[in-house]
Amino acid sequence: MEIRNFSIIAHVDHGKSTLADRILELTQAVSERQRRDQMLDTLELERERGITIKATPMRLFYTAKSGQRYLFNLIDTPGHVDFNYEVSRALRACEGVLLVVDASQGVEAQTIQNAYLAIDNGLEVLPVINKIDLPNADVPGAIAELEEVIGIPGDTAVAVSAKTGENVEAILEGIIAHLPPPKGDPDAPLSCLIFDAMFDSYQGVISFVRVMDGTVKKGDVIRIFSTGKTFEVDKVGYFSPAPTVSDQLGPGEVGWITAAIKDIADTQIGDTITSDKNPVSAPIPGFKPAQPVVFSGLYPTDSEDYPKLREALEKLSLNDAAFSFEPETSEALGFGFRCGFLGLLHADIVQARLEREFGLGLIATAPAVIYEVERTDGSREHIQNPADLPEPDKIARILEPFVRLNVYVPEEYVGNVMGLLQERRGEMKNMVYHGRRVELRYEIPFGEILYDFHDRLKSLTRGYASMDYEPLEYREGKLVKLDILVNDEKVDALAVIVHRDKAYSLGRKIVDKMAEVIPRQMFAVPIQAAIGGKIIARATVRAFRKDVTAKCYGGDITRKRKLLEKQKKGKERMKQLGTVEVPQEAFLAVLSGDE
Instruction: Output the CA torsion sign for 336, 340, 341, 345.
Output: positive
For residues 247 and 162, what is the distance between their CA atoms, to the nearest angstrom?
34
Per-residue CA distances from 43 to 56, 279, 310 (Å): 10, 36, 22
**Long-range Cβ contacts of 570-573 (<8 Å, 24+ apart):** 571/522, 571/523, 571/524, 571/543, 572/523
Q: What's the number of CA atoms in the CB half-sphere (13 Å) around residue 3?
A: 20
For residues 585 and 543, what is the distance between their CA atoms, to the nearest angstrom?
20
Per-residue CA distances from 273 to 220, 289, 481 (Å): 12, 18, 47
592's CB contacts (< 8 A; 6+ apart) are 364
- Indicate the annotated binding residues for GTP: 13-18, 130-133
For residues 55 and 88, what is the distance between their CA atoms, to the nearest angstrom?
10
CA nearest 529: which of 547, 556, 511, 505?
Answer: 511
Q: What Rg do the C-alpha atoms of the chain give, in angstroms?
A: 29
- Indicate the annotated binding residues: 13-18, 130-133
At residue 238, φ and ψ (nearest 5 deg) are -130, 180
For residues 88 and 287, what is the distance between their CA atoms, to the nearest angstrom?
8
